Amino acid sequence: MRITLEQAQKLLKAGNVVGLPTETVYGLAASIRCPKAIAHIFFLKGRPSNNPLIIHVASAQDILSYALTIPDDFHKLAAAFWPGPLTLVLPIIADKIPAIARAGLPTAAFRVPAHDYIQKLLTHSGPLVMPSANLSGKPSATSAAHVENDFGQDFPVVEGGQCTRGMESTILLWKDDRWCIVRLGALASIDFQPVLGYSPVVHEEEIDTPLCPGQLYRHYAPKAKLVLKENISGYDGVVVGFDDRHYPHAERVFSLGNSQCAEEVAQRLYAVLRDLDTYGVKKAYIDMNIPHDGLWATIWERMKKASSCAESNLA
């Protein structure tokens, strides 16, 4: 059910959960002041309680009162990338943020999103806790219709158009005197070079001591079995590929856009994965003849995760 910004503001104030657009993906929002509403987010998504949520704020200034310490280059990163698809994990003053939102961790993740509507809401409503607006484990939502598909036609969501980035924010965490990437996203490692003077390493998640708990879970997966192929020419089933390539044997092609434009592919990826289920596709071959650098690294990571569920193969 589409609602206005004013309705969203009232619902949030009254302790409800609403769907909101951001430039990355749609989010399920609750006020940071309403632990009950935050608990309801975990219930709605079917999200494990040890997977913390990102706190969205109107400006970097709004983070300072929560932070225990401010790591080096925080202000440089904020000035360069906010509002935008960057999330920073900081040590926090524990009693200022409900434990349920941060899964009991001594840190919290913060982001200043770029979408005009959510900027307006944050200015009026204060900080909002907000995971991606999809059922846990499923592809993220990049349109209001995707949110309604997952949570029902009566679920309140603000219509904000198609997300321009289509990929979640990149998450940086301060460790051993450097920032490292704990989740790849709309910003690539190389994008940080001019600001930090180095490209942060992408942290490989460890089960015992995860730096970003969400990375351990099954993610982004449609019901369809996905098979990743770097050479797809001989396959005759359903293909997920590109507008500028030919798949002479394919039974049907779902297009991710132009193979020369990572931004376009990122923007369309979740919608295409969702389309596979809408059309009842049981198995699809994914054309992975794509680069590994820049934003393509994020696309690789998402495709590997989406295809790595029990019933899928990673070729």
- Least distance from C-beta 283 to ligand TXA, angstroms? 27
Three-state DSSP state, 141? coil
Q: Angle at Cα 264 formed by Cα 170 and Cα 250, nearest 5°?
A: 120
- Identify which of residues 21 and 241 has a Cβ nearer to ligand TXA in the complex: 21
Identified binder of ligand TXA from the candidate list 19, 38, 51, 141, rule CB under 6 A: 51
**Residue 105 interacts with which of Mg ion, ligand TXA, none, CB < 5 to 8 Å by class:** ligand TXA
Tell how far CA 27 is from the center of its chain. 9
Distant-in-sequence, close-in-space partners of 313: CB < 8 Å, separation ≥ 6: 225, 227, 307
Q: Are 55 and 110 in contact (CB under 8 A)?
A: yes
Which residues are registered as beta bridge partners of 91?
107
Q: Which is it for strands 178-183 and 170-175: parallel, antiparallel or unpaired?
A: antiparallel
- Identify which of residues 182 and 272 has a Cβ nearer to ligand TXA in the complex: 182
Question: Residue 298 interacts with Mg ion (CB under 5 A)?
Answer: no
Q: Are 275 and 149 in contact (CB under 8 A)?
A: no
* Of the candidates 30, 24, 25, the residue with the CA atom closest to the CA atom of residue 9: 30
- Identify which of residues 80 and 315 has a Cβ nearer to ligand TXA in the complex: 80
- Identify which of residues 105 and 309 has a Cβ nearer to ligand TXA in the complex: 105
DSSP secondary structure, 143-188, as one string: SHHHHHHHH-TTS-EE---S-SS-SPPEEEEEETTEEEEEE--SS-
Question: Looking at 9-17, 79-87, 127-135, 189-197, which segment touches Mg ion (CB under 5 A)?
Answer: 127-135
Distance CA 215, CA 183 (A): 7
Question: Residue 102 interacts with ligand TXA (CB under 6 A)?
Answer: yes
Question: Residue 147 interacts with ligand TXA (CB under 6 A)?
Answer: no
**Residue 267 interacts with which of ligand TXA, Mg ion, none, CB < 5 to 8 Å by class:** none
Question: Looking at 33-41, 60-68, 205-213, 260-268, which segment touches ligand TXA (CB under 6 A)?
Answer: 205-213
Identified binder of Mg ion from the candidate list 31, 51, 87, 132, rule CB under 5 A: 132
- Identify which of residues 111 and 225 has a Cβ nearer to ligand TXA in the complex: 111
Which residues of the chain form contacts with ligand TXA (CB under 6 A)? 22, 24-25, 27, 51-54, 85, 87, 89, 102, 105, 107-109, 111, 113, 130-132, 168-169, 171, 182-183, 211-215
